[in-house]
Amino acid sequence: MPDDGVPDDGVPDDWQQRRREAAVEHAATLDRKKAAESREARVLVEEFVTRAQARGLRTSSLLARAHSGRARYRTGLTGWYLKRNGSLAVTEQGDFYVMSASSSLRARLSGTTLEPSDPPLAVGVGARDGESMPLKELLRLRLEAGDEWSAP
């Protein structure tokens, strides 16, 4: 680096440091926003569980689908599918799950273990047109459908 404080690449050190700090702050802001949305969504899921149980909505053993879509695996979870294709579910304990797992012979034989996800305020964001929906609306539709909800 020459004596003028500018590295050989022509960009001042303090500018690079400010850019790094701005990137870190931006990531922290996004994390805080996501955490706040998850807390709000978690309240919606808990309200759904309370209402579903009060209505006597029948639960089922939840199956995970392989990423390829061809196989289904036992999970040991019990709850309600939120989407008719079985891709999202809520357990009786109020945990939100994306019902997807890696393909494996072991999972086919003994089942798979899924980890709960932070629920989003909008499901299907980034999917094909018409597939995204506010979580609140999805939960309302699921409750209204009652035991007539068909899932895999």
CA distances from 117 to 1, 5, 97, 108, 142 (A): 48, 47, 5, 22, 19
Query: pLDDT in tens for each of the 152 residues of the chain?
Result: 555 555 556 656 788 888 898 898 888 888 888 888 989 999 999 999 999 999 999 999 999 998 877 789 899 999 999 998 899 999 999 999 999 988 777 777 888 889 999 999 999 876 665 578 899 999 999 999 998 876 65
Beta strand residue intervals within the chain, DSSP E: 60-66, 72-81, 88-91, 96-98, 100-101, 122-123, 133-134
Q: What is the pTM of this model?
A: 0.77
pLDDT for the residue 134:
94
Copy the structure tokens of residue 7. Answer: 């590295």
pLDDT for the residue 10:
60
For the chain, the structural domain boundaries read 13-148
pLDDT for the residue 15:
84
**Which residues, listed in sequence order, are joined to residue 77 by a DSSP beta bridge?**
62
**Which residues, listed in sequence order, are joined to residue 74 by a DSSP beta bridge?**
63
pLDDT for the residue 129:
57
